[in-house]
Each structure stands twice: as C-alpha cells, then as structure tokens.
Amino acid sequence: MEKFENYLKTIQERSKHFIGYPAGIDFEYSELYPLLEYNLNNIGDPFVDSHCDMHSREFERDVLAFFASLFKAPRDNWWGYVGSGGTEGNLYSLYLARELYPKGIVYYSESTHYSIQKNIHLLGMSSIVIRSKENGEMDYDDLAETVKLNRHQPTIIVANIGTTMTEAKDDVGRIKEILKSYAITQHYIHCDAALAGTYLALLDKCRFDFAAGADSISVSGHKFIGSPIPCGVVIVKKNYKDRIGRSIPYIGNLDTTITGSRSAVTPVFLWYIINKIGREGLLKRATDAMDVAAYALEQLQAAGIDSWRNPHALTVVFRTPSPKICYKWQLATQGDWSHLICMPGITKAIIDEFIADLINPQFQEQAQNEFAMYQ
C-alpha cells in the first residue's frame, strides 16, 4: 500500500502543473462512483440489447444522440458508439472506408496524429502524405495535385480538426471542392476531431460536420468534456456501418465495434455532464476556455516570448523553454516549439504561474547554460 500512497501523492502534485496535454481537469463524478462496484460491459452494438443486462446502453444512446445532433448527422442515417478514445474512432472510420473502397488511397497531412499512420498500417491500406502549411493546416494545392494524379482510384481523406501540436483545422469545404473539380465521386472524408471537435461545434466556428461533407467524425471524451478514464465517440453514416455488422449468437447482439467489450462506465460519465450542465453549460465551458487561451497568448507576448495561436484554438504555441520548465509543466515539445492547451480547468492564475517561471532569471540562466553545452 505504501507504493500506491506514494504514487497518489505524486499524481496529486503533478496534476497542479499539467498544461501541455489536452485533458479537461475540472470534472467531478463522485456521484457515479457506486458504478465501480459492478462489472459493467457494453459489449456489442449500443442499439441492440443483448442477453447480458449489466450494461449502460440507454445512457450511451443518449450520448450518441447528443453528438449526432451536434455534428448535424443525417436524421435517419447515423450510428456510433463510445469507445476507448480518438485512436479507436479513427481506426473504426478507416475500417469503414476500406470496406467501402478496398482500392482507395488514404490522404492525410504530415501534421496528422500518429494514430492515423498506425491504423493505416494495421488495415493494410494504401496512403499518401500531403504537405502541411506552416501553421499545421493541410496544403490544399499539394492535395489537389496528388489527387489529380490518382483520380482513377477512390479517395479517402483524413481531415484534421485540431492537429496535435498547433491545433490547425483542415477545411472540409475546400477538400470537397477539390474532389468535385476532378469529378471524383468515389470518396470518403473522415474528420479526426479528437481534440477540438466538441467545442468548435458548440461555438459553430469551423464547418466540419456531416452537413459540410464528413462521412464520419471521431472525438475524445476525456479532453474537452473530461473523464478520469480515456474514452471517445465515433459517429458514422448508418448505411456504411450496416455493411460490416454480423450477428453473434453468444452475446445475442451484433459485432459492429472494434473491441467488442467496451466500458459501460465512460458513457455514463459523458451522459452525466451533458445532462447536468446541458448544451448551454458546455458552450460556456468552451467560451471560458477560449478566453483563457486568448489571455495566455496575450501574456506570453507581453513577456516578450515568441508565441502564436491558430484561430479559435485552445492551443498556444511558443519557443521551447528549458528542460526544467518543460518537465515541471509537462509541456509537449516538437523541435523548437512547445505548446500549452487551455482545456477546462486551466485558469488564468495557472497561466500567470507558468509565465512567472518562464521569465524567472534562474530558469533563464539555466536555459542559457544548457544551450551553451550544445554549441
């Protein structure tokens, strides 16, 4: 028990300086803790009951209906499930695309989350990497030229709705225009909206939904909404899903998901906050987080720190500071750049404390010494 107690103390302390990775940290689910006393499992299709009653499908279906509405899914032609996270949502969507277009080519930008390349490899799909602009957004000229060369094959595109390092958003409307200009009718667009999808849809700041041309959308539940257990939601067109489901007599259900057995607790977490604060509460959560992100950029620039932010982003990018600061604040770093992400729970006071460390002469001196060591 001593090992666990020490671990808990470490987690409690480290959670005070957790700004480099996307995770809502202000959730409170104590009312739901009694669920942890039971072995619950949402095995199989959430819309088909099974022989086992130890599940939370009714809560899962409510969560899915919320996201289907948020993403403007076709009223009578959508399906989805709550899985382990954005990576599983990406895998499921690419799996559908492969079944629809076995000879299709997947196009994704070099700023795309690493899970896409991994999933493409697992599925044995052909793919081509598209250049990214300086801000992390897809280079549409490169996409157009590449698609043109391969227009004889079905086109599968992964659009980023919030890239990992800079939170850039790919323009689904522009992608659709490119496909139309080359008369490509066999196409599939998946939106990897793990990071930004929920709050951008609430704010109506980026058109990436089904009405804009998406065929599937995946989001993470433990990021903007917040959850002690990683989870995610994937929404797809039902007629696509119907092509891959098969009946499993053992569970009295359909095998339509990636993992089969799925957490029955995480859907209740998501249901709880959606119903406790409602869409208006979630919208306020989004506007408050955007306000903190704007404040963070303002204060960084006022302190003379090279920094920037993509439009409507909770991610603020800045020059990589000393390793000591990166460790203390758990900053995600790529080359010369690091970022902080103003997820719900990150306050202006936390930003002030971080910037105080950045401009602290002791930290600056250490950074200069470390730089000199490599010259």
Report the predicted TM-score, pTM, of the whole model to 2 decimal places.
0.93
Tokens of 191: 């939106």
Residue 137's SS3 state is coil
Closest CA to 286 of 209, 351, 344, 353: 344
How many CB atoms within 10 Å of residue 93? Answer: 27
pLDDT along the chain (375 residues), means of 10: 95 95 93 96 88 91 98 96 96 96 97 95 97 97 97 97 96 97 96 97 93 97 96 96 60 71 96 97 97 98 97 97 94 95 97 95 58 42
211: amino acid identity, one letter? A
User: Kindly report the CA angle at 291 between 289 and 295, in degrees rounded to 5?
Assistant: 115
Q: Are 241 and 256 in contact (CB under 8 A)?
A: yes
Instruction: Enter the DSSP assignment of 223.
Output: I
Contact 85, 231 (CB under 8 A): yes
Q: Tally Cβ neighbours within 10 Å of residue 150.
A: 16
Residue 309 has a pLDDT of 98
Indicate the angle between helix axes 57-70 and 266-302, nearest 10 degrees.
40
Output DSSP code: residue 286: H
Helix (H, G, I), strand (E, B) or coil at 6: helix
Helix boundaries (H) for 150-265 = 172-181, 197-203, 238-241
Number of neighbouring beta carbons within 10 Å of residue 27 = 16
Q: Which residue ranges make up each domain of the chain?
A: 2-26+279-373, 30-274
Measured CA to CA, the distance from residue 241 to residue 80 in angstroms comes to 9
DSSP state of 161: B
CATH architecture designation of domain 2-26+279-373: Alpha-Beta Complex (3.90)
CATH number, domain 30-274: 3.40.640.10
pLDDT for the residue numbered 60:
98
Listed residue (233, 217, 172, 224) closest to 203, CA to CA: 224
pLDDT confidence of residue 48: 87
Q: Are 229 and 85 in contact (CB under 8 A)?
A: no
Instruction: Please report the pLDDT score of residue 206 as a whole number.
Output: 85
For 274, other C-beta atoms within 10 Å of its C-beta total 20
| pLDDT confidence of residue 365 | 56
Q: Alpha-carbon distance 365 to 283, whole Å?
A: 42
Q: In the chain, pLDDT over 70 holds for what percent of residues?
A: 94
Which tens digits make up the pLDDT trace of 315-331?
999 999 999 999 999 99
Looking at residue 374, its pLDDT comes to: 38
- pLDDT given for residue 264 in this prediction: 96
Q: According to the model, what pLDDT value does residue 24 have?
A: 93
